[in-house]
Amino acid sequence: MAEPLAIDAWTEARFRAVVDFVSKNPTAPAELLGLLEESHPAYAQRGAAVVVRMRGHALLALMCGPNPWPAALPFALEELQSGHSPYLLAAAARVLQHVTSPHSSLAPFLTSALTTLSQSDDAVDLSRYGGTASDGDAAPAFDEVMRALQWLGPAAAGEHGALQTLLQQPGLAPEQRAALTHAVQALPKAHGHDSSAPQWHSSGDAPASCTPTRLNDVLLEDQDAQRLDWDELFVGAPTVLAFFYTRCDNARKCSLTISKLARMQDLLRQAGCFEQVRIAAITYDPTFDSPQRLRGYAASRGMQFAAGHRVLRVIEGHERLSRALGLGVSFVGSVVNRHRIEVFVLDSTGQVAAVHRRLQWREEELLEDVQQLLSASQEKVISAPAVPVSPSTPSARLRAAPTVRGIPGWTSTLLAMAIALFPKCPICGLSYLSMGSLVALPQLPGLYWTWPLIALASMINLAVLVWLARREQRWLGVALAAVGSVMLFGWGAALQSDWGLWGGVVLHASGALLSVWTTPQRVAQAV
């Protein structure tokens, strides 16, 4: 009977003992695979070097039991594609040869690992815990990956061009260059695409464990320091949601993730649905990643910002979000020590519709996901009952307005407009008061002695309107009020023109009303 793995105090020695025990039990592959999950408690509060040793030992154990487990393959492919530790790359290459059969779809992963090791290699000994190099059995990790490439044999023919490109890099060590040259010469020319080989990708349906019900208590802050809750960000349109952090030292993970989101934005524009789909990236490291840091990191990788396209950090509810989505990340203190690649596709209700994790995702895959969601949404709209009245006059439109909980249509519309114009918060009320003071001051005796008060009221009004505009991304009201200030103090005060004075007041009033205006339809829904 396998030893239970529910251990309160994980140590490195204890982790190693559990891996060794489970690897000899052919009935317990699930436990061993669980030890490779980044969120496993054994990795919490461990340094990155310790995590590398632990994961390498668990990865190699998957091929040492009575029956090698093919379920280890995604973990091995993930390391070969996106890893940068020589020990883990060598371990993944060896595991690959034990848990599957040669086929052409594996070759690009080995080419990726060789490219990484051509820039940063090290001697490792896979027979020792942690890969610590010994005098006799140590060898470069590059050699282990080359052995896997030779194991593929003719199945690696499709990588002939990529390997030749790698050979042209100036930083190759002489031994690496010689091994690559020999491999390229031994490879036959590729003859078309092998349709029988599986195509490894990261996509998959959303498991029930990572489909959140409601996350209203999760508060986030974007690159402009604007704070919004989950529903404000992710309800109303399909969303591509990725995770990253700016201190990541692996360019093939976080940096590449943001660059791919930028390319995703380009694809959305080409498909004509940029404004219908939201793009969001949330940092794993909210303490360090300030709004300014998030903006600079994403902008330097080509990401563009808009109302539905943001980079974010969690202000409240970080643990709840992590549990709800099943994020694959572990920490030492507040610093990430290991994470996987993961991106979610959310539907218009904020629920997870698809997940892409571990292996690099393709932008085209995500475009297909969101287009399917958009098509499904449009089909629902088309199948909804049509409104029978198509009025052409304003009075007819009022009579045909939808009824709100039994209230006649025209009454509900007027009620919605009244609620819309009523100040609904202290900030809105302050804007109304400042606007009112501008209207009232010209009636005071000695008008031109009151200009300091008028200037103060104008500045208060503009400040409030800017605050509202940043929150709602509606700037027309600010523009009208700003023009009103110019007319009020320029044409009205300087030139002592009544037309300039009243024109400025009217523009100020229009700007304030427009900024606090809530559409009747939205108010009607609330009623």
Position 450 scores a pLDDT of: 58
Sign of CA dihedral 319, 323, 327, 328: positive
**pLDDT of the chain, 527 residues: tens digit per residue:** 344 444 457 999 999 999 988 888 766 667 788 899 999 999 999 999 999 999 999 999 888 755 666 778 899 999 999 999 999 999 999 999 988 899 999 999 999 999 999 999 999 999 999 998 876 678 999 999 999 999 999 999 999 999 999 999 888 999 999 999 999 998 886 555 454 545 555 555 555 455 555 788 899 999 999 999 999 999 999 999 999 999 999 999 999 999 999 999 999 999 999 999 999 999 999 999 999 999 999 999 999 999 999 999 999 999 999 999 999 999 999 899 999 999 999 999 999 999 999 999 999 999 999 999 999 877 665 555 544 444 433 333 333 334 333 444 444 444 444 444 444 444 444 444 454 555 454 544 444 555 666 677 777 777 777 776 665 556 777 777 778 777 766 666 666 666 666 677 777 677 777 665 543 333 333 33
Query: 314 CB contacts (<8 Å, ≥6 apart)?
Result: 218, 219, 220, 282, 283, 286, 321
Distance CA 348, CA 303 (A): 22
Q: What is the pLDDT of residue 187?
A: 86
Q: Which among 352, 279, 274, 280 is positioned nearest to 312, based on CA atoms?
A: 280
- The answer to whether the beta carbons of residues 357 and 205 sit under 8 Å apart is no
pLDDT at 82: 96
Structural domain boundaries, residue 511:
420-515
Q: 7 in a domain, yes or no?
A: no
* Contact between 141 and 89 (Cβ < 8 Å): yes
Quick: pLDDT tens for 324-381.
999 999 999 989 999 999 999 999 999 999 999 999 999 999 999 999 999 987 766 5
- End residue of a domain, out of 358, 383, 408: 383
Comparing CA positions, the residue from 517, 474, 464, 470 lying closest to residue 227 is 470
**Residue 414 falls inside a structural domain:** no
The verdict on 222 and 354 lying in the same domain is yes
Residue 406 within any structural domain of the chain: no
Same domain membership, residue 242 and residue 145: no
No. of helices (H) and no. of strands (E), the chain: 21, 12
Classify residue 128: in a domain, yes or no: yes
Strand segments (E) across 247-346: 278-283, 309-316, 329-332, 335-339, 342-346
User: Where a domain ends, among 383, 405, 431?
Assistant: 383
Residue 4 lies inside a defined structural domain of this protein: no
304 with 214, same domain: the answer is: yes
C-alpha of 75 from chain center: 22
Question: Would you state the pLDDT for residue 66?
Answer: 56
User: Same domain for 178 and 249?
Assistant: no
Residue 208 sits in the same domain as residue 182:
no
Per-residue model confidence (pLDDT) at position 399 = 36
Determine the pLDDT at residue 418.
45
pLDDT of residue 329: 96
Q: How far apart, in whole angstroms, are the C-alpha atoms of residue 374 and residue 381?
A: 11
The reply to whether 3 falls in a domain is: no
Question: In this structure, what CATH number is given to the domain that contains residue 246?
Answer: 3.40.30.10
Same domain, 177 and 231: no
Contact 181, 169 (CB under 8 A): no
Q: Are 162 and 111 in contact (CB under 8 A)?
A: yes
Number of domains in the chain: 3
- 8-state DSSP, 404: B
**Do 25 and 146 belong to one domain?**
yes
**Amino acid 140: pLDDT:** 95
- Predicted confidence at residue 417, as pLDDT, reads 43
Task: Give the separation between CA 339 and CA 358, rounded to whole angstroms.
Answer: 9
In a shared domain, residues 233 and 303: yes
215 and 362 share a domain?
Answer: yes
Pick the last residue of a domain from 323, 355, 383: 383
- Read off the pTM: 0.70
Looking at the structure, do residues 338 and 236 belong to the same domain, yes or no? yes
Same domain assignment for residues 326 and 256: yes
- What is the CATH number for 85? 1.25.10
Judge if 267 and 304 occupy the same domain: yes
102 Cβ contact partners less than 8 Å away, ≥ 6 residues apart: 151, 152, 153, 155
